Amino acid sequence: MRGPHNIIRLIRTGATLERTGAMGVVLDAFEAPPALRAFARALGKPFAWLGYEGDPAMPPATRALTALGPAYIKFGQVLSTRPDVVGEEMAAQLRVLQDKLPPFPRDVALAEVEKELGQPVAEMFDDFSQPIAAASIAQVHKARLVGTGRDVAVKVLRPGIEKAFRKDVDAFYFAAWIIERLAPGARRLRPMDVITHFDGVVRGELDLRLESSAASEFADNTAGDEGFRLPPVIWSLSARRVMTLGWADGVPLGDNAAIDAAGHDRPALAARVLRLFLMHALRDGYFHADMHQGNLKVAPDGDIIAYDFGIMGHIDEYTRRVYAEILFGFIRRDYKRVAEVHFEAGYVPADQDVDEFARALRAVGEPIFGMDASHISMGRLLNYLFEVTERFGMETRTELILLQRTMVVVEGVARSLDPHINIWEVARPVVEDYIKKSIGPRAVGSDLARTARVLARFGPRLPGLVERALIAQATRKEPDPQGWTRWICPASLGALAGGGLVAIIELLL
């Protein structure tokens, strides 16, 4: 939050918001209090002539963010995953934010590739195309590997993008600092936390080694998934600013006419997209969090191909079990069990009334189940669920918000392929299968085996720990029933608690 550039950048930002007509839209989305509105207007109105005009054909918010440049475009995309912060209407607008900028010259990309990979381009590629796609952070070229004739996709970061992002993110932190001081009521939105989250996402996308790693892990997890594949990472031609993947031939999943012309079964594709997402989220706890049509293709053999792994979602095992029980409870319309799961997981404070919460959940579920099957939405259900749990004191859980946002996007993809898809009918077998494997008797045996393995690792140390504790207790002058704990090595105790004991407690819960 240093330097005069922050103030200058904020003035230019306010001026652009004012000039594009986005100022009121953004302030309303954030439910800005009067003091903050006055400050924003003072920052924007007198300097509106300094603002960028943007594309008048775009909605005001997306027009302003696109005009302000790469960091703002990416910020808008990240905010689209946080309807808890900007509201559903604004999040929906930001989801369609165009992430397209003019490409940088091919010669510049070639120089970046040579610099990062340490070899002349001619020794790596027989052919290297003009940019075929250009986004806010990087652009993609089609190339052909020397000797093999194999086609690949080469992603190259924009020159100077790291410096540009650092400058703008610095200004974002400064703006969040001002908001927290001018509008104490806005602290519930945790503006500093939002910027910190954005900063983390961007740092990950500015190091293509991390995206390569994400792609590799995702490929390992999904290797056995029928009808789904990923372009392989070519590690020898990937680095911090360059990533090379196998080329993915196929029809864009958003082009229904081309899909029909290729003879693919669109309802089957719709069901598979939804099933795959739920499998990845529940089974693996690691899912593609940007599964829109632009990142999906249909291969000639009918396989779905996913790419662009800059935004991935992660859910720990315990949260997956809770999430699955909640979904399963809604599918069975067992609202009391859904309420109990929230309390057992500690999502809702214990001082709330479980029966009253169950009745509130029924008010969420029943109207949705009363809809025609083609209109039932799991994403809408989760959105309503979060609204109810917030009223009962549940804190925002970022990983579930990202899951809900991705669920909405995946449902949109599925419905674009098959407007009559029954979301529950497709989801039920995936959720039931996960429930059987992770919560049923088989899961109990698996948890016990894992706990035994953890305890076995510390087994050789247990006799010594007990002996030292007994000796220490015996040599004390005054009885102290709990004094022995002070003699146990803190690291050993922490390791034991963090391994076997925590596993046992989790199992019992």
Q: Catalytic residues, which ones?
A: 290
Those residues with Cβ within 8 angstroms of residue 231's Cβ, 6 or more apart along the chain or in another chain: 153, 215, 245, 246, 247, 248, 305, 307
Q: Is 254 exposed, middle or buried (0-12, 13-18, 19+ CB in 10 A)?
A: middle
The pair of structure tokens assigned to 436 is 């059987």
Closest of 135, 158, 141, 430 to residue 280, by C-alpha: 430
Q: How far apart are CA 481 and CA 113, in angstroms?
A: 67
Report the amino acid identity of residue 501: L
Whether 27 contacts 182, CB under 8 Å: no
| Burial label, 482 (beta-carbon count in 10 A; 0-12, 13-18, 19+) | exposed
Whether 393 and 349 have beta carbons less than 8 Å apart is answered as yes
DSSP string, 431-477: HHHHHHHHTSHHHHHHHHHHHHHHHHHHGGGHHHHHHHHHHHHHH-S
Determine the Cα angle at 80 with ends 79 and 81, to 5°. 85
| Dist CA 38 CA 40 (whole Å) | 5
Contact of 399 with 314, CB cutoff 8 Å: yes
Identify which of 48, 43, 85, 79 has the alpha carbon closest to the alpha carbon of residue 61: 79
